[in-house]
Amino acid sequence: MAMNVSLQAVHPIEAPPPLTNNTPPPLLMNDFEGMPGTCGGLLLRFCQFVFAVISLVVMGTTSDFPSVTAFRYLVAAVSLQSLWSILLAAVDIYALLVKRSLRNPRVVSFFTFGDGITSTLTFAAACASAGITVLIGNDLNLCDINHCTKFESATAMAFMSWFLVIPSFLLNFWSLASKSSP
């Protein structure tokens, strides 16, 4: 006791430890739901995967999709999208299980780049298929000899999948930009 009092008398101001404890580390500020390594992010990835796979299966069960380039492209794009989403979902599950944060700028920029590429490809394929589906159904009225309903369903599922990749992409890009700011 006497020892403590004499030490405090020697060093009256002991400021540094409280200061470093009060300032929050800025890198941990922007860690909200939907980003990789969170439950929201995993849910987004899983839904992307499910919609992409439904689109793939529905388009694959039509007999005449290989005759139209845009439908072949849709099959390729949603295949890539489903592979990318299930891969990222696995990474998210790993991060959640070992309680590891995926806040590394290099990892986040890789995820952002991949999300940007796959979402652009999926959206382009969905738009091309939608254009052709509308051409067949509304402009030419050829739905009685074509699988219009299946084409429309596959297109809609591809749009849903794209719609769910956009939050992932924007959140990753946001976290990347706010991390590299001064």
Residue closer to its own copies by CB (options 89, 154) is: 154
Query: Which part of the chain contacts its own copies (CB under 8 A), choosing from 4-12, 53-61, 121-129, 141-149?
Result: 121-129
Told to check if 22 binds its own copies by CB under 8 A, we report no
Told to check if 105 binds its own copies by CB under 8 A, we report no
Told to check if 150 binds its own copies by CB under 8 A, we report no
Q: Which of residues 75-104 bind its own copies (CB under 8 A)?
A: none
User: Cβ(153)–Cβ(78) under 8 Å?
Assistant: no
Residue 161 vs residues 1, 39, 108: alpha-carbon distances, Å: 67, 18, 21
Residue closer to its own copies by CB (options 77, 89) is: 77
Question: How far apart, in whole angstroms, are the C-alpha atoms of residue 64 and residue 28?
Answer: 51
Told to check if 154 binds its own copies by CB under 8 A, we report no
Which residues lie below 8 Å from residue 69, measured CB to CB, with a gap of 6+? none
User: Cβ(119)–Cβ(52) under 8 Å?
Assistant: no
Q: Which of residues 31-70 bind its own copies (CB under 8 A)?
A: 67-70
Residue closer to its own copies by CB (options 47, 134) is: 134
Told to check if 129 binds its own copies by CB under 8 A, we report yes
Number of C-beta neighbours around residue 69 at 10 A: 10
Q: Using CB under 8 A, which of 17, 20, 139, 144 touches its own copies?
A: 139
Question: How far apart, in whole angstroms, are the C-alpha atoms of residue 129 and residue 156?
Answer: 10
Question: How far apart, in whole angstroms, are the C-alpha atoms of residue 82 and residue 62?
Answer: 19
DSSP 103: -
Q: Which residues bind its own copies (CB under 8 A)?
A: 24, 26, 29-30, 67-70, 120, 123-125, 127-132, 134-135, 138-139, 170, 173-174, 176-182
